[in-house]
């Protein structure tokens, strides 16, 4: 039987059996509306409150600081747009600081704000994909309303110094939001240590179902309502609560916390993939930091080939991977993250993201290491640019990025 290796966990994950189990009662037994006063409703309310409390415990915050949403994109939109609106109303500030490598949920929210008259500064990153702190310090001023910097990048897995950035934001009286969608399940999220005002999480990245997310909003921050309705979520996001998925998210976050102990094993598999693939395949380069990256992320650029062709051949070999973020993979534009770390436009298409998880085995890693090099070779053998490079032709524009980044 042919092998299947799922190495696209940063795009989404399978719902784990324990999570599915935790959700089941809420479909047919705990079906009451948590707002109803009868027993079925009260039972549902107890389950809802319990889930909120357990999630808050994993994040180190208070249950009333957790607001359930439908996904990471919704949480990001709410934080950026309502955070900006709040500060404009309170202090007249209309300046946002974010980075060039944010997810489009944040970038496009910022673009929408620009159309409304806000100004946005997009801070650059180092060639390793870490926020350029000098640039950030210079960008944040006493006119800044909101600083929005992601905790972990979805393409190259780099971990940003959020606590330090939050301190800078607060020194200038600005709000601090971090998109922690790719951090949850991969690293410990400790809200008091981060010192952020808002933080987003999405369930489907950590083995809960698609369609559930949350936004942490610091107590006392009067964030404008997202959905006006029947008073759910402390009146800020109306709509009958999605109890099955909320129970699933709570279970997934608890399991994720326990699984952090297994991170060194995953990091070892990640490092083996990086070392073996970059040594076996010529003209291959690690994208992002070698050290400041989550344990499951491998992102390698292979010159002289298109990432999309690589994906198709890997798919045939039974390996599911990605060229960038799943949401952007239908686009022909090069990844904004690749461009931000300095990969030239013409080379930015040749990157592959392998996102492994606690479910990945050493045998899966062996299989990727066995399958990938011949596929790269096959694609290069069909590439006129590769042929030109072999002949020592004019490939000057192919060699401007240093070997290990």
Chain residues binding ligand PLP by CB under 6 A are 71-73, 76, 103, 105, 150, 154, 179, 181-182, 202, 204, 213, 325, 327
The CA-CA-CA angle for residues 389, 394, 397, to 5°, reads: 90
Determine the 3-state secondary structure of 95 from DSSP: strand
CB of 200 to ligand PLP, least distance (A): 7
Tell me 241's DSSP state. Answer: -
Cα separation, 273 vs 260, in Å, equals 20
3-state secondary structure 144-161: EEEEECCCECCCCCEECC
Q: Which is nearer to ligand PLP, 30 or 199 (CB)?
A: 199
Measured at CB, which residue is nearest to ligand PLP? 72
In the complex with ligand PLP, the residue whose CB is nearer, 204 or 237, is 204
| Cα–Cα distance, 240 to 108 (Å, whole number) | 28
Q: Which is nearer to ligand PLP, 5 or 107 (CB)?
A: 107
CB of 233 to ligand PLP, least distance (A): 17
State in angstroms the smallest separation of the CB of 324 from ligand PLP. 10
Q: Rank residues 94 and 154 by Cβ distance to ligand PLP and give the closer one.
A: 154
Active site residue 327: yes
CB atoms within 10 A of CB 231: 10
Q: What angle do CA 329, 181, 104 make, to 5 degrees?
A: 40
CB of 188 to ligand PLP, least distance (A): 17
SS3 294: coil
Integer Cα distance of 355 and 205 in angstroms: 11
Rounded to a whole number of angstroms, the minimum distance from the CB of residue 303 to ligand PLP is: 26
What are 159's strand-pairing partners? 152
**What's the Cα-to-Cα distance from 254 to each of 51, 55, 120, rounded to whole Å?**
10, 7, 36
Q: Which is nearer to ligand PLP, 150 or 389 (CB)?
A: 150
Catalytic member of 61, 71, 295, 327: 327
Handedness of CA 8, 9, 10, 12 (dihedral sign): positive
Q: Which residues are catalytic?
A: 327
């Amino acid at each position: 039987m042919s092998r299947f290796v799922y190495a696209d966990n940063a795009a989404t994950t399978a719902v784990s059996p324990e999570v599915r189990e935790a959700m089941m009662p809420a479909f047919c037994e705990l079906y009451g509306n948590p707002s109803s006063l009868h027993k079925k409703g009260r039972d549902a309310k107890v389950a809802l409150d319990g889930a909120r409390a357990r999630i808050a415990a994993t994040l180190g915050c208070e249950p009333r600081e957790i607001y359930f949403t439908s996904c990471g994109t919704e949480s990001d939109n709410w934080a950026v747009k309502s955070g900006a609106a709040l500060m404009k109303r309170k202090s007249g500030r209309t300046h946002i600081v974010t980075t060039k490598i944010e997810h489009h949920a944040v970038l496009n929210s910022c673009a929408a704000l620009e159309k409304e008259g806000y100004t946005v500064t997009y801070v650059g990153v180092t060639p390793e994909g870490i926020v350029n702190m000098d640039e950030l310090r210079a960008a944040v001023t006493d006119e800044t309303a909101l600083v929005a910097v992601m905790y972990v990048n979805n393409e190259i897995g780099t971990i940003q110094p959020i606590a330090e950035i939050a301190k800078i934001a607060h020194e200038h009286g600005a709000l601090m939001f971090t998109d922690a969608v790719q951090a949850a399940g991969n690293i410990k999220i400790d809200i008091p240590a981060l010192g952020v005002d808002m933080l987003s999480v999405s369930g489907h990245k950590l083995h809960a179902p698609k369609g559930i997310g949350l936004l942490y909003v610091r107590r006392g921050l009067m964030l404008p309502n997202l959905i006006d309705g029947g008073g759910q979520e402390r009146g800020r996001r109306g709509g009958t609560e999605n109890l099955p998925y909320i129970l699933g998210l709570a279970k997934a976050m608890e399991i994720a916390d326990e699984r952090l102990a297994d991170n060194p094993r995953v990091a070892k598999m990640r490092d083996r993939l990086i070392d073996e693939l970059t040594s076996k395949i010529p003209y291959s380069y690690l994208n992002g930091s070698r050290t400041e990256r989550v344990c499951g992320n491998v992102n390698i650029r292979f010159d002289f080939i298109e990432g999309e062709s690589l994906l198709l051949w890997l798919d045939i070999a039974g390996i599911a991977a990605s060229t960038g973020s799943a949401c952007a993979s239908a686009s022909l534009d090069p990844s904004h993250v690749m461009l931000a770390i300095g990969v030239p436009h013409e080379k930015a298409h040749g990157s592959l993201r392998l996102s492994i998880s606690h479910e990945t085995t050493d045998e899966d890693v062996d299989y990727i290491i066995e399958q990938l090099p011949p596929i790269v070779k096959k694609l290069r053998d069909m590439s006129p640019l590769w042929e030109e490079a072999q002949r020592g032709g004019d490939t000057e524009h192919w060699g401007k990025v240093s070997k290990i980044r």
